[in-house]
Every structure is written in C-alpha cells, then in structure tokens.
Amino acid sequence: MKREIVIIGGGASGFLTAITARKNGRDVVILERKDRVLKKVLTTGNGRCNLTNVNASNQNYFGIEKTKQPIEKILESFTSQDAMKFFEDEVGIICNEENRGKVYPLSGQAASIVDGLRFYAQSLGIEIITDFYVTKIEKEMFNFKIISEDKRQIIAKKVVLATGGKSYPELGSNGSGYELAKSFGHTVTKLIPVIVQLKAEKEKIKGLKGIKSDAEVTAFGENKNGEKIKICTYDGELLFTDFGISGNVVFNISYVFPIYKNVEFEIDFMPKFTYNEIFEILKKRRTILKDFTMEQFFNGVVNKKLGQFLTKSAGIEKLSKSINELTDNEIRKICTTLKKYRIKIIDTNGFKAAQVTAGGIPLSEVNLENLKSKKVKNLYFAGEILDVYGECGGFNLQWAWTSGYFLGKNL
C-alpha cells in the first residue's frame, strides 16, 4: 500500500496536520500506536481540556537549544483566536474563556474535543489506523518504508513525526519518535520533564507533607550568562509533598526549571499583606495572645503545622516560649520567614508525572518555513517532539494545533 502522507502519532498535532493537509486535497493516513487516538488530549486540563490560551504569544514558549525559539511566524499562522474559530466553526465546539485567558470547551469535557476531532477527521476521509506502533522507518529511493512492531509495512511519499515527547508514556508518547528521528541522523537535545511537581531540599520541607496554602511564589535562577535573576512570580495553591512541592502554582512556575540553573523559589505565605502590615498584625497578636505559648501564635492565620514550622525556621526553637516574650526583632524574623521563605529546587518528579517534555528535535535541524527536516527529504515534524515547550495554561496544546496547522498547510 503506498500513501502520499503518513502521519505517525494520532495526538493533537497529528490531527491538526492531517485535517489541514486533507482540506488541501492531500491523501492522509494517521498511524497511532495505542488502541485509540488522542488519549493524551482526553486527560488534559483535569479531563476538561484547556485547549488554548487567548494570550498565547512567543513570550510563552521556550526551548533547550535556545531559550527563546524563533517560532513567531508559526505561532502567527494559527493563533489562539484561529484555534477557537476552528473548533467552533468546523468541529462544533463552543469555547469558553475562563481565568487567565484559559479556554475550555463549554461542555467542560475533554471528550468533546476528542470526539469532535475524530468525527471531523473521518468525515474528511482521513484514514486512522490504531494499534500501529512504528518502530522503524527505512528511506528508499523516493519513498519511506514504515514498519510496525508486528512487521506490517506502509510505503509513504512523505512522513510526519508527530509522536509527542516522553511524558505520561502510558498515554502513548514513550519517546520512540526521538529514536525514529535519530535513525535519520537527527539529534535530540537534553530532555527535561516540565509542568510537573518539583523536588526541593529536604530540610526545608520536613514535616510539611500534605499541607496546602495559598501562596505567591517567585522563582530566581541563573541565566546562561551565569547572572542570578528574578524570573517570574505566580500565585495559587501550593501543596507540600514528601519530596517537595506541588499544586497549581508549582505547575505554572515549573517551566523555569529546564532553562535556568540553581533555581530557588521564594514563597510568600501571606501575599495579601505587605511586610509592614504583617509586622503590625503580629505585634497586635503578641498583646492579644500574651497568655499563650508560641504553639498558638499562628492559630487562625496560617495552617497550624506550617505556622509552627515557620516559627522554628525563624529561629524560635522552643514552641513553649511565651508569646509575650517575643521581641520586635523576633517578630521581624517571623515576618521575613512568612513573606520570603526560600527553598532550592533540586529536581523534577520525572517524566511519568510531567505534562510536557522540554527539549526535543533542535529547531536548527528543521526548516522553519515548512517544518521540514534539514537532514532527510520529505520528513517533517509537528508538536511536542520539537524543542518547543510552553507555560502551563493551554499553551502546549496551542503549540500542537499551531505547528500541526502550519505543517499541514505546507505539506
């Protein structure tokens, strides 16, 4: 069987490539290793699918080869507005913008996106072959021979690798696409899990497992010139785990880990108050709670266990100390601990739990006018397999749709 365009990977980017190419009259087949397509999309946004972000721009994307990747043209070819228009006008999904520009289907179900894309692709005549795990591709004179794990073969004129990264491998993206690319002489950058829970130095989180707090977190790190800089600040829910920190604020800010060295977070446990306001509040508590011990000092202010931990971190070792013995200087130290609690990030929690893979096929090996391989004629890439990743909040799916659309149009 000889086909014009074979897309390896029935994920978000593979579908947009296929749909766009098919609308341009191309013969397209999608090969998917799992028994169903779009398995990852089904789990996105906690099952609600944060399909794009209205604020998406080049500022939200990063790479390992270069921190800022030259992808403006690709992003502009299919903006988040275009994605919403596509889903509304062609797939029949009503898009609903929520906080911070995040867009979800109005149904609140990722399954709507999966079904919509699947039915639309079928209606266009795109063939989808599931349970086809591509383990080898051979380049013949004018064609590619695509070989599955169980030795089935398909001949294709053009091949698209839309195989994703290597995070959440049970959903299909097991990193095999990188091996296929390597077999054609491509290299792969360092791969780092991102949008993921983070591991922190043990002594700074000891005993805090399970504690949740609303917090503002500021990331600091060293850039490529070795300069220590303040990177960004996010607020949201922070959750302490036995190995580090999690929660939506961590997912949002974790994008900094792959591109900066010696990352440290400064946590503000009371972002609604300034340092001076907290100082006055705590001084007042010294009077109100004068008959109690430090064990009670944070009662009703922050989580009790967290309060006791922060008290000790501020240098007040004995919780049996009477509150009325607190000096102004000690209160100042407590304020600093509350507003500027610093922890070093030592690692991520790995690919299994990461939403996205940072790194991939370097963009220097790809023609950015058409996402064509510079190494092999008629080989193309789309989606997360490329060295582009976005912040949390709909930006990664937007990259998958955009790169898929851009490639599909140019195939």
Binding site for ligand FAD (CB under 6 A): 8-14, 31-34, 39-41, 43-45, 49-50, 133-134, 162-164, 167-168, 172-173, 176-177, 355-356, 383-384, 394-397, 400
For ligand FAD, give the closer residue by CB, 134 or 334: 134
Q: What are phi and psi of 64, to 5 degrees?
A: -90, -40
User: In the complex, what is the shortest distance from the CB of residue 125 to ligand FAD, in angstroms, rounded to a whole number?
Assistant: 21
User: In the complex, what is the shortest distance from the CB of residue 78 to ligand FAD, in angstroms, rounded to a whole number?
Assistant: 14
Give the other-Cβ count within 10 Å of 272's Cβ: 10
CA-CA distance, 71 to 373, in Å (whole number)? 16
* Structure tokens belonging to residue 354: 């990461």
Terminal Cα-to-Cα distance of the chain (whole angstroms):
20
CA-CA distance, 314 to 331, in Å (whole number)? 9
CB 385 within 8 A of CB 189: no
For ligand FAD, give the closer residue by CB, 36 or 312: 36
For ligand FAD, give the closer residue by CB, 241 or 403: 403
CB 178 within 8 A of CB 9: no
Which amino acid would we find at residue 297? Answer: F
Q: What are phi and psi of 158, to 5 degrees?
A: -125, 140
For ligand FAD, give the closer residue by CB, 43 or 313: 43
**DSSP assigned state of 331:** H
For ligand FAD, give the closer residue by CB, 33 or 339: 33
User: In the complex, what is the shortest distance from the CB of residue 16 to ligand FAD, in angstroms, rounded to a whole number?
Assistant: 8
> Which DSSP helix (H) or strand (E) runs through 311?
helix 304-313
User: In the complex, what is the shortest distance from the CB of residue 147 to ligand FAD, in angstroms, rounded to a whole number?
Assistant: 11
User: In the complex, what is the shortest distance from the CB of residue 351 to ligand FAD, in angstroms, rounded to a whole number?
Assistant: 10
User: In the complex, what is the shortest distance from the CB of residue 138 to ligand FAD, in angstroms, rounded to a whole number?
Assistant: 14
User: In the complex, what is the shortest distance from the CB of residue 397 to ligand FAD, in angstroms, rounded to a whole number?
Assistant: 3
* Structure tokens belonging to residue 140: 């013949």
Q: What angle do CA 387, 390, 393 make, to 5 degrees?
A: 155
User: In the complex, what is the shortest distance from the CB of residue 30 to ligand FAD, in angstroms, rounded to a whole number?
Assistant: 9
For ligand FAD, give the closer residue by CB, 19 or 326: 19
For ligand FAD, give the closer residue by CB, 308 or 373: 373
Burial of 227 (0-12, 13-18, 19+ CB in 10 A): exposed
For ligand FAD, give the closer residue by CB, 337 or 396: 396
Rounded to the nearest angstrom, the gap between the alpha carbon of residue 308 and the centroid of all alpha carbons in its chain is 34
CA-CA distance, 408 to 292, in Å (whole number)? 69
